[in-house]
Structures are given as structure tokens and as C-alpha cells.
Chains A and B, each alone.
Chain A
Amino acid sequence: MKKFYLITILFSCCNLYAQTPMEIVKIADSRLRGNSSYAEITITIVRPKWEKKMNLKNWSKGTDYSVSLVTSPAKEKGSVFLKRKKEAWNYLPTIERIIKLPPSMMTQNWMGTDFTNDDLIKQSSMVVDYTHKIIGTEIIENLTCWKLELIPNEESSVVWGKLIVWIDKKNYMQLKTEFYDEDLEIVNRMVGSKINEYNGKKLPSKLEFYPLDDKGNKTVIEYDVWNFDVSIPENYFSTQYVSRLK
């Protein structure tokens, strides 16, 4: 026990004094993912004329494996989106078929949201693929945040020109992210809010994603349940198991 305290103290010391921008991002990133996680999510797609709500269950393991099961609306119940490394499959219960997403569908919207399939599959590592720089301190939701600029490394296959990320100094929550294209024009903005505690970790429970080219469009992600470091059977991430997910 003493050892643990020691480590924690040492760790927080590091936080306070000798923290490089890369370490900040690394901690924030690992807090968000954990080794594995299980979440129950409500996604609301907002369009100027209408709104659609859908509920998902999501299991994930690291950055490579993730599987999402739609639980509502009734008509889409049972649809599964499976991601294994750089490949993705879609299981559609109405036709009892699993479809591997072809490259041509990568730029299409993921389940009607504002994310593209590419956004989810090619999730580049914010730690490895970028060069980090602290460019200021700002206050968001009454929390003091580092404002970091992330420039992608030349050899990485990142689609963005740069990212601006706000990470709060106390809990390492990623509260706001702005995505810029190659011409350094802002394209998307993601805002976290409604901070909640999940398994002792403080995280924003609500993420709003705004594609800035389409006025009035946004996608809201709310985490109703979020458990970290749960044990997930290996077969959950296999194409054979998709029809049995519950």
C-alpha cells in the first residue's frame, strides 16, 4: 500500500512540475480508453429539420478492437458495427448478413451520424502520430485547461492538418477538440460537458460533435454507463459472434 501511495505522489509530482505536452496527451488518452471498456451510449443525431436518437452498447479493447450493438430504434435493433484493427464490418440482422466495409464506403457517414467510417477506423493515436506543443491556458467549464496544438508527424497517415486540444489540468479530461484540414481551416469541433464519475474516473459524459461545414448539424454522444477494465471475452470481436451479441 505504501508503495502505491509513493507512486501516486511521485506521479502527481510529475504532473505538477515536469510535465511535457506529450505526457499530458498520453495520460488524457489512456484515461479515456483504459485497457478495455464497456459503455451504454445514447447518440442523438441533430439536423435542422429533425432529430434521431439511438442507443448502443459498446465493447472495446485498446484502440484496435471495438464492437457496437444497436439496441434501439426497434427497426435497427441488432445491427452491429465491428472494428478490428484497420478493418470494419457491419452486421445487418434484417438480411442476416455481415458486410465488410469497402474502401468506397469509408468516407460515408457512420450510422447516419456526422462521423465518417474513416473517423472511427483510422483513429490515429493522439500520442504517437503527433508533435505536441502547449500554446496556452484557458478556462473551460470552470476548469483550467492546457491548450495544446497537435501537428501530425510527416510519416503518419493522419487526415487532419492540425488539432487544437483542451485538456484540464486536474483530471486530464479532454474537454474540447478542434479539427483543422490541410489548409488549416477549421472543419469539426468536439465539445465535452456534464462531467461525471465512471469507476472513479472523472470524464465528460456528453460529447457534442459539430461538423462546421453543415450548419445546424450535430451529433451528441451521451455515456449512460461507462465501465473500464472489464473483462470481455475474445470472441466478442469476431465476425462469427456478431449475431449473438446482447
Chain B
Amino acid sequence: MLLKIAWRNVWRNKRRSLITIAAIFIAVLLAIFLRALQLGMYDNMINNVVGSYSGYVQLHSKGYWDDKTIDNAFEVNQSVLADIQNIDGVSTILKRIQAGALSSYNDLSKFVYITGIDPENEEILTDWNKRLIEGRLLKKDSKSIIVAKGVAKYYNLKIGDTLIFIGQGYHGMQAVGAYPLQGVVDMKNPNLNNYSVFMTLPVAQDFVSAENLITNLVIDKEQYFDENKIAQVIKSKINNQSYDIMTWKEMTPELDQLIEADNAGGILIIMILYMIVTFGIFGTVLMMTQERLYEFGVLISIGMRRSKLMITLIYETILLTFTGIMSGVVVSLPIVNYFYYNPLRLFGAASAQMETAGFEPVIPFMNSYDIPLTHSLIILCISLIICVYPILIIYQLQPIKAMKR
């Protein structure tokens, strides 16, 4: 009954209702856009550095992270692999072996990180095809190497040139080898571009005399899955004495801090937006209350209970807010989705700046469902809080005064 009255009240003055709905609609739309853009950008940054290369979670032998030498390599057994693969949210597991070595070509030499990868599985995590600039990618039985573009540029390498590597192998063995170049890749990150050399896992293991050993087990997650949860589960499942489990935040704290700092700014902006929206909605509600003072007075004086009138008003607010939120979400969805699949591409100086910082100069939107959900709920709360004002007015209303014109 009260709901019906509320519904009719909403449509009695269409213009007033539409203004309120419009205020809420714009607030929801803006909040969703802002957050989708910002979180999408962070996600892209993380993806560039973490998701597509180092993985969200990594497993090392204890002490490897502080002392990244090949002597801290470990043998990973099948049961551990199976345990991890079965954890909820884990999408891929990759074995890698990494060792620093001195590379040399003609008269030049340079320090590089040699990474042994499993080309077939690696394809799932990193889109190597997109990154290939020249030559061919590694195959399962490749004996040659691919290098990142910075290394190729330093030596002025052409496909087929042979690079020499000298380093320290496992347990004091000499690591020496000469390998022909078969491809050049762009790692989309200046650090990786300047120091990366890739071989297949068996070739790299042979180079450092560490048969069947790996240094990093890269664990990738499904999109928007919480990596901390995955890390927790792994920690509880496997022997903590011999392994370290690290999330990307622990491995690359500088990226996390960069995002945290930027995010704080983003949150400040959204707070300001909410403040403006709050006053916008409050304005329309204030107007509505003042306009209907006479009506309220009449209703109370003909015997309507104040509490019932208040409930009607709450219903009205919920109806209005709900309509506004729904329309906002519905309108934002296709737009967010469009920009998710066709990310904004930056041009000029902004693009160059992003690239030097090591990120791809694109801003895709985030299409996670929890952005509209959070912001709808926040705006609903704001509306309900604002609703307190007309309720207070009704509570104190003196019908005679209200009806006096």
C-alpha cells in the first residue's frame, strides 16, 4: 500500500523526479568511469610487468630472493606441481631457470640475465608472438637463443650471429657457451629489454650444469583472482622450510608503491565527486521537501501517522535512487566494455613517458563487476543518509504552520 503511494508520488511530479534521477545517474556513471579507467590502468601496468612475465606468485627455494645465485636452484617434484595446479584460481605454472652471465660479441661485452623457459607453456602467460620483432620464437627443441631488443641493439646483432656467455654455474661449475641468435623480442619493459636473454629450459640447465633444476616457479592466476589467497593456500599446502612463496607485491614493491600512491590520488578525486553528488542529491531532496510541506501538513492533519509518511518517503528515495543507479550502470556497461576491448591509446609525450616508465601506452578499462557494485552501494547509502532530512522535517512538522501559506 505504502509502496504504491510512493510509486505514485514519484510519478506525480515527473520533472522533480527526473532531476533527482539524473543527478544520481550522472554520479554513478562518473564514478564507474573514473574507477574503471584508473583500475584498468593499474591492471594494465601490473599485467605489463607482472602478469605477462614474472607472474603474480612465485615459488623459490628458501633464500633465493636475497641471494639470487644459481646455487639456490631447486628440483621441483611432480606432486608439488600437481598440488599447486589444483589450487582454485591458478591458471598456469611455469618453470624457469635464471642466471646472470657475462655476454660477449666481437669486442663488446655486457652483463645479462639468462632465462631458461619452457616455450610451449610460456606462450600461455606471455604473448611472445606479439613481442617478436625479428626472427623466430623458441621451439621446444631450439638450441639457439632469443634476446630482448636492448641487448640486440647494444651489440648490433643480426639473426644468426653467435653470442658468447661466461658465468658461474651450479656448485662452482664453469658456465661457458656460444649460442646463435634466432630472434629478437620486445619485453615492453626497459629493464627486461636491456638484460634479457632467453633459451629453452634444457639448454639453460645444461649451460649452468644444473640438470633438472629451476630457480623460479612462476604461478599465474585467473583474471581478477586474489593472488594473496593463492599464496596463502600454497603456503599451507607445501613444505615451508625449503620454499619461499612470494606475491608480486613482495617481488616488485616499487610497482605496488607507485600504484598505491596514484590510487590515493584517485580515491581523493572520487571522494570529491561523491561530495558534489551528495550536495546535488541533497539539493533536489531539499527542494522536494520544501515543495511538499503543505501536502505533508494536510496528510498529517487528516490523520496519517507520521511514521507511515516517513516510510513512504524512504520508499520514494529508494525508488528514485534505484532507477538512477540502474540507468547509470546500464549505460556505463557497454561503454566500459567497449574500452576494455579497445583500450585508449596514448599519443605524443604522454605515450613516451609511459614507455620510459616501462609500460605499454594504453589505458584499457576494467570490466570487473565489483566496480559498479561498490559505487552503486555507496550512492545508495548516500541517498539513504540524505533521506534523514525529510524524515526529520516530518518528525518536527506542525501541520498548522505547514499549511499556512
Tell me the A residues contacting B by CB distance below 8 Å.
45, 47, 49-50, 52, 73, 75-76, 79, 92, 94-95, 97, 99, 111-112
Kindly identify which residue among B71, B171, B178 contacts A94, using a CB–CB cutoff of 8 Å: B178
* CA of A131 to CA of B172, assembled, Å: 37
Q: List chain B residues, Cβ under 8 A from A75.
A: 173-174, 209
Q: Is B371 an interface residue (CB 8 A)?
A: no
Are the CB atoms of B171 and A52 closer together than 8 Å? yes
A221: min CB distance to chain B, Å: 15
Q: List chain B residues, Cβ under 8 A from A97.
A: 164
Tell me the B residues contacting A by CB distance below 8 Å.
71, 164, 166, 168, 171-174, 176-178, 209
Are the CB atoms of B172 and A52 closer together than 8 Å? yes
Q: Is the interface of A mostly helix, strand, loop or mixed?
A: loop
Are the CB atoms of A76 and B174 closer together than 8 Å? yes
Are the CB atoms of A94 and B177 closer together than 8 Å? yes
Q: List chain B residues, Cβ under 8 A from A50.
A: 71, 171-172
A94: min CB distance to chain B, Å: 5
Q: Contacts A49-B71, A50-B71 given: A95-B176 contact, CB under 8 Å? A: yes
* CA of A94 to CA of B207, assembled, Å: 11
Instruction: Please name 22 pairs of A and B residues whose Cβ atoms are closer than 8 Å in the assembled complex, sorted by A.
Output: A45-B172, A47-B71, A47-B171, A49-B71, A50-B171, A50-B172, A52-B172, A73-B173, A75-B173, A75-B174, A76-B173, A76-B174, A92-B174, A94-B177, A95-B164, A95-B176, A95-B178, A99-B166, A111-B174, A112-B172, A112-B173, A112-B174
Q: What are the 5 A-B residue pairs with the smallest beta carbon separation, nearest first?
A: A112-B172, A52-B172, A95-B178, A50-B171, A92-B176
Q: List chain A residues, Cβ under 8 A from B173.
A: 52, 73, 75-76, 112
* Given A50-B172, A111-B174, A112-B174, 19 extra CB contacts under 8 A: A45-B172, A47-B171, A47-B172, A50-B71, A50-B171, A52-B171, A52-B172, A52-B173, A75-B173, A76-B173, A79-B174, A92-B166, A92-B174, A92-B176, A95-B164, A95-B177, A95-B178, A99-B166, A112-B168
Q: List chain B residues, Cβ under 8 A from A94.
A: 176-178
B315: min CB distance to chain A, Å: 72
Residue of A nearest to B178 (CB): A95
Q: List chain B residues, Cβ under 8 A from A49.
A: 71
Residue among B164, B166, B172, B176 with most chain A CB within 10 A: B172
B56: min CB distance to chain A, Å: 30
* CA of A95 to CA of B166, assembled, Å: 10
Residue among B164, B171, B176 with most chain A CB within 10 A: B176
Q: List chain B residues, Cβ under 8 A from A45.
A: 172
Q: List chain B residues, Cβ under 8 A from A112.
A: 168, 172-174
B111: min CB distance to chain A, Å: 11
Residue of B nearest to A54 (CB): B172
* CA of A45 to CA of B168, assembled, Å: 14
* CA of A92 to CA of B207, assembled, Å: 14
* CA of A73 to CA of B209, assembled, Å: 11
B199: min CB distance to chain A, Å: 15
Q: List chain A residues, Cβ under 8 A from B166.
A: 92, 99
* CA of A77 to CA of B267, assembled, Å: 63
Residue of B nearest to A102 (CB): B109
A41: min CB distance to chain B, Å: 16
* CA of A112 to CA of B171, assembled, Å: 9
* CA of A178 to CA of B166, assembled, Å: 33
A71: min CB distance to chain B, Å: 14
* CA of A99 to CA of B171, assembled, Å: 23
* CA of A49 to CA of B172, assembled, Å: 12
* CA of A52 to CA of B174, assembled, Å: 12
Q: List chain B residues, Cβ under 8 A from A92.
A: 166, 174, 176
* CA of A112 to CA of B176, assembled, Å: 13
Residue of A nearest to B209 (CB): A75
Residue of A nearest to B171 (CB): A50
Q: List chain A residues, Cβ under 8 A from B171.
A: 47, 50, 52
* CA of A97 to CA of B104, assembled, Å: 12
Residue of B nearest to A49 (CB): B71
* CA of A73 to CA of B170, assembled, Å: 13
Q: List chain A residues, Cβ under 8 A from B71.
A: 47, 49-50
* CA of A75 to CA of B169, assembled, Å: 11
B172: min CB distance to chain A, Å: 4
A224: min CB distance to chain B, Å: 20
B140: min CB distance to chain A, Å: 23
Residue of A nearest to B164 (CB): A95
Residue among A73, A94, A97, A111 with most chain B CB within 10 A: A94
B74: min CB distance to chain A, Å: 12
Residue of A nearest to B162 (CB): A95
